[in-house]
Chains A and B, each alone.
Chain A
Amino acid sequence: DTEVTQTPKHLVMGMTNKKSLKCEQHMGHRAMYWYKQKAKKPPELMFVYSYEKLSINESVPSRFSPECPNSSLLNLHLHALQPEDSALYLCASSQEASGGTGELFFGEGSRLTVL
């Protein structure tokens, strides 16, 4: 199973709402990532979790709050977002570079629209 599953596929929210994006993988990967992608641009790294600990935070605004409840799950909690946060949010996972190939696997993404 080389799947990364993201839910929901589409999300529309107002600026005062609180919502969450979810990501799951069962490949035994210990590194998990959140990326944000705007149209016609490459993915931008937001957060990296390594062994369930936040290892990289690319100066993301606090209205985005990541959580890694266990080695298979990654959440992104959203609160008080702005219309410019509308984008495709991609989850990915990989083996640790120290112990494996480091190959990166992506989910299909969650399309977020902030009204």
Chain B
Amino acid sequence: KQEVTQIPAALSVPEGENLVLNCSFTDSAIYNLQWFRQDPGKGLTSLLLIQSSQREQTSGRLNASLDKSSGRSTLYIAASQPGDSATYLCAVMYYTGNQFYFGTGTSLTVIP
């Protein structure tokens, strides 16, 4: 079974700090990797999608990188704001089919 892990499980930072969330996967033959945000009791909102041929993607204050050889992706959040408080999940899709493997999630709290 494919394993996707996220470290740390929880993170608390003061407003304005830059931070990095990590996602590790065991099999490097990925099709794409997607970062999501989830607010309590809500669905998942797609933040960034990185195709296997790409090294990074940027959207506003968010930057996601992908290193297939080491089995890692990072989500960088610049100048964090209280509104960034949420759970962040990564999901990996492999070439073998329409199945996404979710990481364990990082719960982020940004303190005003």
Contact residues of A with B, CB < 8 Å? 4, 6, 31, 33, 40-43, 45, 48, 50, 55-56, 88, 90, 92, 94, 96-97, 101-109, 111
Contact = CB atoms under 8 A, between A and B. Distances in A.
Contacts of A90: 43-44
Contacts of B95: 97
Contacts of B44: 43, 90, 92, 106
A48 B98 contact: yes
A16 B103 CA distance: 35
A55 B102 contact: no
A103 B92 CA distance: 10
A84 B103 CA distance: 23
A97 B31 contact: yes
Contacts, number: 66
Interface size band for B: 20 to 34
Nearest to B32: A102
A104 B45 contact: no
B63 to A, nearest CB: 18
Contacts of B36: 106
A108 B42 contact: yes
Contacts of B34: 103-104
Contact of A104 (B41, B51, B97, B100): B100
B43 A42 contact: no
B91 interface: yes
B100 A42 contact: no
B46 A103 contact: yes
Contacts of A50: 98
B28 interface: no
Given A90-B44, A102-B31, A56 B97 contact: yes
B49 A106 contact: no
Interface string B51-90: 1000000000000000000000000000000000000010
Nearest to A44: B102
Contacts of B97: 55-56, 97
